[in-house]
Structure 1
Amino acid sequence: MTVSTDLLGDPTAAGNKSIILSIDAMGGDQGPAAIVAGIFRSARKNPDLGFIVHGPAATITPLFAKRKGLLEKCEIRDVPDVVKMTDKPSQTLRTGKNTSMWSAVEAVRSGDAAACVSCGNTGALMAMSMIRLRKLPGVNRPAIGILWPSRSVHGFNVMLDVGADIRADATDLLQYALMGVSYARNGLNIDRPRVGLLNVGTEEHKGRTELHDASELIEGQAEATGFEFVGFVEGGDIPGDRADVIVTDGFTGNVALKTGEGTASLIGDRLKEAFNYSLLSKLAGLLALTSMKRLQKRIDPRRVNGGVFLGLNGTVVKSHGAADATGVDAAINLAFRLAQSGFSDRLAKRIAASTQAAAKSIAEESPSK
């Protein structure tokens, strides 16, 4: 795809193929250097992709100047303050208007950028995104959706929520399912996604009351919305091929996500130890080097870094706080693909249609008075 180099053009206008992304340069644990390095990687792969980068100009401009040609592709917006990982979301809403994070979200609200990427404080980013972008009509609680490496033919499953809100009632879980279906269609090109509801077992009698209520609601929307509900799924199904969309609350989803990342890291460390154990194991490791690099690439959590805030009037991608250049590059690439597909507008239409269908269904089932 050829992308316009006109950074002043409207990135979402019909007929204009330019994609401008808004990047918070100050949110990551590894500092702005890692974020700028990630931007540079993305810029090399997508030469005409444009960036609006937010942060103290005196700090970040020298980092861009070290990389030939990168400044030409970026607009730096000088913002003095930074949201810290320890800041409370409520505090950042009162005092955070001069922060790089607020400025990055504001660029999406104003239409200057098609999507925002930040490695910063998740709670603060969600709070700012909800205040500035607003929730889609019909959405009670936004969710964070991720792509989880899986055995499916598509290579990934969609999982949500993974940390936007630890609470979720039956109606929230239904909305998560609908948003996950839209994400699977636009992100993975799955025409009829299979949806599973995460539980402690697949048996119908297991789980909390809200899960059983949610199961009925999701099943009731499946035919009208064009997806298949496979019922309850377990933790082992998250990377499996039984469902394309895994629905759960933010507490459970976040624990599963961090556990998966830690397990992938542990496997990598143990394999290195095993192949360095003796001379013969080192030789075996050398012979298996190509296969091991392929395995490492497939289980490396950095390469699928990036959670999408679903249910907002705009696209916001939350990168892992500890992301290095590889992880930042992956989050930027995800935002780029979603912006290209017009995902935010498609999701809004899907939620609106589903909300109307659900209201009609409830009205028809309610006894007349």
Structure 2
Amino acid sequence: MDAVFDICYLSSEGNNVEPDDIPKTKENVWVLGKKYSAIQDIDRIRRDITSIIWCTYRKGFVPIGDEGLTSDKGWGCMLRCGQMVLGVALIRIHLSSDWVWTPETRDPTYLKIIQRFEERKQAPYSIHQVALMGASEGKEVGQWFGPNTVAQVMKKLVVYDKWSSLVIHVALDNTVVKEDILAQCIVKNDRGDCSSAPDNLIVTDWMPLLLVVPLRLGLSEINPVYTEGLKMCFQCPQSVGVIGGKPNQALYLIGCVGDEVIYLDPHTTQRSGLVENKMTDEQKEMDCTYHCKYASRIPITVMDPSVAVCFLCRTRTDFDELCITIEQKLSAESQPLFEMCEKRPAHWGPNTADIDLQNTSLFTEFEDIDRQFDDSDQEFEIL
């Protein structure tokens, strides 16, 4: 990597010791639905992890909320995890699942994506937009978000960003309802008035789907009966990770190896700035702050039991294949993570949640435990 990249990753630890990010094991390493060899593919693993948009605490941005907060240190980690899931989804939709970032990358589509997460009020998925959308639903700026909350906020925000070409479905009550998803994702275009087309021809398009399934996998800690199901989620080609973490510390879980999960950690405070067209040295350095050189890992058993598993279905075929995986593998577990059904359960009533997103309040939380502000943080400065 070049000098700019190395400067970007000089943290307060100030050393270049090889990290223990991926264990030297014969077991398969799974990252966002891809299988790797820990021995043979270590460089490719790190390259692909570095290509993920890494969202962290920031400081020095335009004030948010009544208290005029200029940093999200201590309260924004779950919001940042939501941004990372959305970042992976947008990269896959608008670039590809095999896209690779380097410090020299100036692809205009990539820049358009990264600009959506900058600390600007106008950016569709900035900390300002995420925090204020949460506030409009009863979560004040600076208050803890759980996985379900951040999923509901993202679902609302994508409605206002037509370029993203994405719909988000948040499953309720551990149940994925095919009928509701198809109603959201299948777009019928009546092109019967085209002179070259047969009368009343209906052309069906598929809107890319980000499926988020909030789950509670135990009371105060993860129940071991769910660990195999969780590993299967990371192995699905449609996987875009899991929003979860340790108690009081949200982490973006991107994969697994053995009985450990691999994650990107938002608990690093970086200064705010703009990438824009990535022409100046300062803009290049700012772009580097959105990419983490190494991932970390923890045992599955120490995870917080509140999680949200996330899948991206770019096409109808992706969705159909995911349904088969859920029905044949995940549902075959002795204690399935969640269920899938064809029709909406009668006792749920009509599905109005996706018709009028602006007037709904879907913040049913499993996470309303007494959360403390997270004080875990590494200061991180660009030199």
Q: What's the TM-score, normalizing by structure 2?
A: 0.25
Q: What's the TM-score, normalizing by structure 1?
A: 0.26
| Structure with greater contact order relative to length (CA < 8 Å, sep ≥ 6) | 2
Which of the pair is proportionally richer in strand? Answer: 2
Which of the pair is proportionally richer in helix? Answer: 1
